[in-house]
Structure 1
Amino acid sequence: MNGTWMIYGANGYTGELIARTAVEQGLKPILGGRNKEKIHALARELGLESRLFSLNESANVQEGLAGVDLVLHCAGPFSQTSAPMIEACIKAGVHYLDITGEIGVFEHAHAPAQSNRAQEAGVVICSGVGFDVVPTDCIALKLKELLPNATHLSLGFDSDSGISPGTFKTMLQGLSSGSAERKNGIITEFPLGTKHRFIDFGKGSRSAMAIPWGDVSTAFYTTGIPNINTWIPMPTYKIVGARSMKWLKPILAKPMLQKALRTWVDKSITGPDEEARKNSPAYIWGEATTATGEKRTVRIQTANVYSLTVYGALAITTRLLETDLPGGSYTPATLFGSELIEQLPGSGTFQIE
């Protein structure tokens, strides 16, 4: 592999998993972040270079990125950290990847203000190189290939994978908002729990609820399909309970409560261990339809969501450093094709109906 790359936020749950697996694969990333004690300790253990810098001062970030060809950004909350890192990468001529699943971050990454400047600088910007949204993005592109005139796209997943501290914090932040879908090309919000259906994700038909998953943003840039919604399995009683969240939104949005909840997460949530990750695969599903009612369905089984994030992030990192691509904003599937997901460890092959 050619090029020097950095994992920024390597002290987090997923960042550390990626760093350890990278070393197992013979890779030598630089470990970057803000937590001096944790970053230095992990770097010493793995025999890697480390750099400490925050994203608050542009000059510090530019210094931290000196000599780096690519940043794999793993430091959340991405709604706060992604924009300054993208800006620094464009200025420094450094490729940018991250593992977010947040719609707002994807929209920022694909906005002309970023995409056009990245193209001019020869910088690749690709948000969502982990479970959010590699498998669903690949299914989206596969469905577009199978049904080029599709007008509606539904995507979803089923997994009992446990949860990391960073993901839990993002979920808590999202409790103060609703759900979202794309209608006629425009992202539209609606109350959580108000849209439901039955879906066979790969283990039989189950009740499911529409959620604001990242593909509401990214699948549009991958496929051009104007109507997109995203789903997870959810028992009916929980869907009913989710509807009541709209009454709690003003309370859940209060900064003091959000801060208290994040503190609780830091003390209480550790993320799934290796055994849990090995025994909890994910089941990914997608469905495309045309204006005349023609329909195609695609499913695939993959590794655990956190393991897949590690595999996906490292695969895209190494391929990007070995490939000369034009600058601009990409999704995982527009970078390396719908077959990318089938090539990752733990993945099966597409099952097409």
Structure 2
Amino acid sequence: MNNQQIMIYGAYGYTGELIARQAVAQGLKPILSGRSAAKLQPLANELDLPAIAVSLDDEDALARTLRDVAVVIHCAGPFSATAEPMMRACIASGTHYQDITGEMQVYQTAHDLDAEAKAANVVLCPGTGFDVIPTDCLAAALHKQMTSATHLTLGFDSDSGLSPGTAKTSIESLGVGGAVRRNGKIEIIPHGELTREINFGRGEKFAVSIPWGDVATAYYSTEIPNIEVYIPMSPRRAKKMQRLNKFRWLLRMNWVQNWLKGKAEQKVKGPSENQRSEQQTWVWGEVRNDRRGERRVGRVVTSNGYDVTVHGSLAVMQHLRKYDGPGGYYTPSKLCGPELVEQLPGSGKIKIGID
């Protein structure tokens, strides 16, 4: 692509605005976009950036808008509803696509569109934020150390709070359940069914499995057939999660989902810059081959999840602006290499050992 113009779609959301501000700090002049001109214009005026309001419902208009854009960073959730229209518009316009989702459904959609993206020479790389750069890069590094691994377990211990968008994504999973990968297939399991003790990097903690995006992406990155993802949680809270299983049928209903998301919109606010600067994330991973009695453990410390998302999405964008390889679906580690996480501000080196 000769044109180097970038677009941030959903720029007036909490994380979209952080990305826009950091892009300007790096000397970039992205186009700000989203559904609402009224919400876009104040930020565009403040940052002295061009703004284009366009709906995701009109694929032709969206594709025309993207025609002269090299890369779009898609930040407008819920991605279960917004990602596919944007991906298809990017394929039609010849624009590389990335987003900041953690939703497994989106990764599977991008994987399903791989052939179309290859034919259009367009890269689809969802998950270029905290979901899933650190865990995906660690998974790839662990697999490089043990290519015979049959089991991959990942997890992270974070002090970061939730943004409204992340809270809404979590609400969507309440009515579904947890998720793991078994023998290459994703399986839905009850909330809180799997627990174990894990030292993420600051001592042993009780941890519970969650339906994190790596259940999809780490398989595409490593082809390891059995994958689980964990976060630390008190046993008391885990029991509360388990009790939710009786009400999954209710939590799936649209009116309940909408009510809970409305509450999240009102009450959940993203952390301040000072709060983010004091937060870190400890990322942990384990690969095993039980038949051979082999095991390796990896860890990496990163900055808080929002700063990882901001700097990670911009790092992938810069990679795509210079990219001249084939199109198709990529995970972050497949596109940029496992060392991507180590290059982000506030990140350390990936360390792998037997414990």
Q: Give the TM-score band, short-chain normalised.
A: over 0.9
**SS of 2:292 mapped into structure 1:** coil
Distance 2:336 2:142 in 1: 16
Distance 1:102 1:123 in 2: 21
Q: 1:285·1:300 contact (CA, 8 Å) conserved in 2?
A: yes
**SS of 2:348 mapped into structure 1:** coil
Q: 2:195·2:207 contact (CA, 8 Å) conserved in 1?
A: yes
Residue equivalent to 2:148: 149
- For residues 163-242 of structure 1, the aligned pairs below 5 Å read 163-242=162-241
Runs ≥4 residues deviating over 3 A:
none
Deviations 1:11-61 (A, max 9, x none): 100000000000001011100101211211111110111100111111221
Distance 2:249 2:336 in 1: 42
What TM-score does the superposition give when structure 1 sets the normalisation length? 0.98
Distance 1:29 1:234 in 2: 39
Q: 2:150·2:226 contact (CA, 8 Å) conserved in 1?
A: yes
Distance 1:301 1:137 in 2: 14
Paired positions, count:
351
* Structure 2 residue identity aligned to 1:70: V
Residue equivalent to 1:6: 7
Q: 1:11·1:35 contact (CA, 8 Å) conserved in 2?
A: no
Distance 1:320 1:86 in 2: 15
**How much identity, in percent, do the aligned residues show?**
48
* Structure 2 residue identity aligned to 1:212: P
Residue equivalent to 1:105: 106
Distance 2:140 2:174 in 1: 30
Question: How much is the aligned-residue C-alpha RMSD, in angstroms?
Answer: 1.1
Residue equivalent to 2:351: 351
**SS of 2:102 mapped into structure 1:** coil
Distance 2:162 2:347 in 1: 20
Distance 1:322 1:303 in 2: 26
Deviation at 1:157, TM superposition (A): 0.4
* Structure 1 residue identity aligned to 2:152: L
Distance 1:253 1:216 in 2: 21
Deviation at 1:66, TM superposition (A): 2.8
What TM-score does the superposition give when structure 2 sets the normalisation length? 0.97
- For residues 121-132 of structure 1, the aligned pairs below 5 Å read 121-132=120-131
Distance 1:132 1:69 in 2: 23
Distance 1:224 1:270 in 2: 37
Q: 1:299·1:350 contact (CA, 8 Å) conserved in 2?
A: yes
**SS of 1:150 mapped into structure 2:** coil
**SS of 1:244 mapped into structure 2:** helix
Distance 1:61 1:323 in 2: 23
Distance 2:133 2:327 in 1: 20
Q: 2:167·2:264 contact (CA, 8 Å) conserved in 1?
A: yes
Residue equivalent to 1:53: 54
Distance 1:260 1:188 in 2: 28
Deviation at 1:177, TM superposition (A): 1.0
* Structure 2 residue identity aligned to 1:335: L
Q: 2:40·2:51 contact (CA, 8 Å) conserved in 1?
A: yes
Q: 1:124·1:325 contact (CA, 8 Å) conserved in 2?
A: no
Residue equivalent to 2:135: 136
Residue equivalent to 1:326: 326
Q: 2:221·2:334 contact (CA, 8 Å) conserved in 1?
A: yes
Q: 2:104·2:213 contact (CA, 8 Å) conserved in 1?
A: yes
Q: 2:83·2:106 contact (CA, 8 Å) conserved in 1?
A: yes
Distance 1:318 1:352 in 2: 28
Deviation at 1:2, TM superposition (A): 6.1
Q: 2:3·2:68 contact (CA, 8 Å) conserved in 1?
A: no
Deviation at 1:292, TM superposition (A): 1.8
Deviations 1:189-244 (A, max 9, x none): 11011100000000001000011000000000100111111000011111111111
Distance 2:336 2:256 in 1: 41
Deviation at 1:323, TM superposition (A): 2.1
* Structure 1 residue identity aligned to 2:226: N
Deviations 1:281-312 (A, max 9, x none): 00000000013220000001000000100010
Q: Which runs of 5+ in 1 are unaligned?
A: none
Q: Are residue 316 (structure 1) and residue 312 (structure 2) matched?
A: no
- For residues 16-31 of structure 1, the aligned pairs below 5 Å read 16-31=17-32
Q: 2:108·2:216 contact (CA, 8 Å) conserved in 1?
A: yes
Deviations 1:233-279 (A, max 9, x none): 01111111111111111222221122122222222222100011011
Residue equivalent to 2:16: 15
Distance 1:68 1:241 in 2: 47
Q: Are residue 252 (structure 1) and residue 235 (structure 2) matched?
A: no
**SS of 2:12 mapped into structure 1:** coil
Residue equivalent to 1:70: 71
Q: 2:142·2:352 contact (CA, 8 Å) conserved in 1?
A: no
Residue equivalent to 2:304: 304
Residue equivalent to 1:285: 284
Which moved further from structure 2: 255-264 or 290-299?
A: 255-264
Distance 1:144 1:188 in 2: 22
